[in-house]
Amino acid sequence: MEVSGQHSRLRIRWPITALCAVLMTACSAPATIEPPAQISNETVDAHILYLSSDALKGRDPFSEDMAVAEDYIAEQFRAAGLSEFAEFPGFKNEFSFEYIPRRDPDAVPTTYDLQNIIGYIEGTDPALKDEYILFGAHHDHLGVRGEEEDNIYNGADDNATGTTAVIALAQYFAKVHNNKRSLIFATFTAEERGLIGSRHLAANLPIGADQLVCMINFEMIGKPAADGSWNLMYLGPEKSTLDEIFMEALDDDSPVTLVGPEEHQVRYFNGSDNVAFYAEGFITTTLASPNSTDDEYYHRPNDHYEFLNVDYMSDVIRAVVDITEPLVSGEATPVKTEEGGI
């Protein structure tokens, strides 16, 4: 997609004005001017291909292999120029967890050393930089299981796609650096084992609880809706005004349509890392493909890269830049609309 939307044009007006002031004569009739940065399909494709590859062995948080994926994400954050929280050097939020499987509640707990990956971009506005928007997604999946020939659960859609969105957005916002509010980028470990990573971070934030404006989570954004529509589902529209902010900000030219959940999809608000933050009283949503709740390869070894639609996914990530613009710029602040909040 060519980025030609309203918000993109607004963003490039400043540099042109500044340039004209300096050069005076040189740019009286600016022709086609490239936006300062774009999220390209090629970048999205490269991240998703790597994160869902067999080399990462299904990103099992309880295996040694997990560090490979986590080092990759941390390296992307470092290369993009994100800042580290002092508490999380190397972008790593390390913690140990005593795990008891849900199916065996009387088992002796096993202690695992786990880590979320987290970095931030400081806001450009002296006052608004103390307010934060958190973009998150879980990076783990189910690992290697069973004796079948293909026993690697690649978790391409679930949730290498969401992880890719967080990385691509971090790279984009670091490049344009027009965010007046500060932006946190976090990928969570062990979501599939019971939201372990997100619960840990939500309860141990490196900022004050009153500083987090909202948390936006990504889950399974790798395939269009079952009917082929370029729809993106917003979960929890009854809980806050986030959906209204998103709807109003969506570019008229965007190929993506924002939709609320159908009746059978409402419960999925409680199915991902957003709910760990919701439980701590924060305003949250999960953005997912409408296909995600009914996908035939969900939690199967053939949740593979080749079944993803990188064009759809790239358009979705670019649409997220549009719909979050009022949050990032500090023009809009969501409020809870649910009786009694949490």
- Which parts of this chain interact with Zn ion (CB under 5 A)? 158-159, 219
Report in angstroms how near the CB of residue 100 gets to Zn ion at its nearest: 21
Question: Are 186 and 91 contacting, i.e. CB atoms less than 8 angstroms apart?
Answer: no
Tokens 């940065």 -> residue: 37
CB of 271 to Zn ion, least distance (A): 8
Task: Copy the structure tokens of residue 57.
Answer: 């062995």
- For Zn ion, which is the closer residue by CB, 219 or 315? 219
Determine contact, residues 154/162, Cβ cutoff 8 Å. Answer: no
**Contact between 139 and 188 (Cβ < 8 Å):** yes
- Least distance between Zn ion and beta carbon 192 (Å): 7
Which CB, 225 or 288, lies closer to Zn ion? 288
Least gap, CB of 298 to Zn ion (angstroms): 9
- How far apart are CB 39 and Zn ion at their closest, in Å? 22
Longest dimension (CA), the chain: 78
Q: Which is nearer to Zn ion, 120 or 269 (CB)?
A: 269
> How is residue 325 written in tokens?
């613009």
Complex with Zn ion: residue 158 or 325, whichever CB lies closer: 158
- Of the two residues 134 and 245, which places its CB atom closer to Zn ion in the complex? 134
Instruction: Please give the Cα distance from 31 to 93 (Å, whole number).
Output: 46
What letter would DSSP give residue 152? E
Q: How far apart are CA 324 and CA 242, in angstroms?
A: 9
Q: Which two tokens stand for residue 225?
A: 């809706």
Contact 168, 47 (CB under 8 A): yes
Q: Which residues are paired to 258 by β-bridges?
A: 232
Tell me the closest approach of the beta carbon of residue 251 to Zn ion, in angstroms. 27
Q: Which is nearer to Zn ion, 182 or 198 (CB)?
A: 198
DSSP code, position 86 = T
Minimum CB distance to Zn ion smaller for 254 or for 292: 292
Minimum Å gap between C-beta 160 and Zn ion is: 10
Residue spans of alpha helices (H) in 183-297: 196-203, 242-249, 274-278
- Name the residue nearer to Zn ion (CB basis): 5 or 224: 224
CB of 245 to Zn ion, least distance (A): 24
DSSP codes of every residue in 269-320 = GGGSTHHHHHTTT--EEEEE-GGGGG-TTTTSTT--GGG--HHHHHHHHHHH
